[in-house]
Amino acid sequence: MLYLAQLLHDSSHLVRCKCLELIGALGSPDHSVAADAGQSESSTSTLLVLGDFSRYPDGRVRTAAFQSMVCLFA
């Protein structure tokens, strides 16, 4: 999950969308994801990360975040 958290800061929307999809498919709501790629000891819950990206300016990334949330609870 640390590698996926690092890729969430990529400039390409496609990379961000795929990372969010993988987090939704592989993660669980109580699992933690590294908040900052440089600091592996600080982590936040999967839902907080997806919630942050649900307010992202790019609609494609927002949609991927919402779909990942649905996937977590499906």
State pLDDT tens for residues 52-71: 999 999 999 999 999 999 99
- pLDDT given at position 41: 43
Q: Which fold has domain 2-73?
A: Leucine-rich Repeat Variant (1.25.10)
Task: List phi, psi (to 5°) of 50.
Answer: -65, -35
pLDDT in tens, 9-53: 999 999 999 999 999 998 887 777 765 445 444 457 888 889 999
Q: Which residues contact 45 (CB under 8 A, 6 or more apart)?
A: 29, 30, 31, 32, 33
- pTM for the model: 0.81
Do 22 and 4 form a contact (C-beta atoms < 8 A)? yes
Domain ranges of the chain: 2-73
pLDDT for residue 40: 47
Q: In this predicted structure, what is the pLDDT of residue 35? A: 52
Cα 71–Cα 4–Cα 7 angle in degrees, nearest 5: 120
| SS3 at position 61 | helix
